[in-house]
Homo-oligomer: A and B are copies of this chain.
Amino acid sequence: MKKIISARDALIDKAQTLLVSVTGDDGAPDMGTSPFIRDEAGDFFIYTSQLSAHVRALIAGNQTRFMLIADERASQNIWARVRLKFTAHSTVIERGSTPFNEMADKMAPAFGPTMALIRQFSDFHMVKITPIKGVIVTGFASAYEVTGPHFDVGAQLTKS
């Protein structure tokens, strides 16, 4: 269990981007990637353009699943890429609101000079993602359920 917790913490600490999977209006799955920052409550914040279909579906409130995954090169072997997959509650933060401006300020150092450029682009939306539950996988026969925004580790799963 200690090993799982430490794998979880290392993954969250290192990951800079989140994978987003979403069901499109036609029922087909779509996905994409977004840089994120995370606050102390465990919420993830992304800033992403609706020019991508998966973002339009996310904003429309379609069903989603998210994943953090360790780089291939950071993994001991290709079967053991540590990954954290979770369902979440997503809400769009209104452009120009106080929370929007505060979070955009926080994103600036993490997201690089690009953020100053895209901050004014109205095709970009800020989305708050509150994790509900999911699974952490660290290799064969090593899958554990996780719950809540801090991914508390629960029972080992034989099937996920």
Contacts and interface: CB of A to CB of B under 8 A. Distances in A.
A41 interface: no
Given A17-B72, A23-B23, A73-B71, A31 B65 contact: yes
A67 interface: yes
A77 interface: yes
A1 interface: no
B78 A17 contact: yes
A6 interface: no
B78 A112 contact: yes
A16 interface: yes
Contacts of A15: 72
B27 A29 contact: no
Contacts of A29: 21-23, 29-31, 63-65
Interface of A: 15-17, 19, 21-23, 27-33, 35, 51-53, 63-65, 67, 69, 71-74, 77-79, 81, 83, 85, 87, 111-112, 114, 118, 140, 158-160
Given A33-B81, A35-B79, A51-B158, 13 more contacts: A17-B78, A22-B29, A23-B23, A23-B29, A27-B63, A28-B65, A29-B30, A31-B67, A51-B160, A71-B71, A73-B73, A79-B112, A114-B140
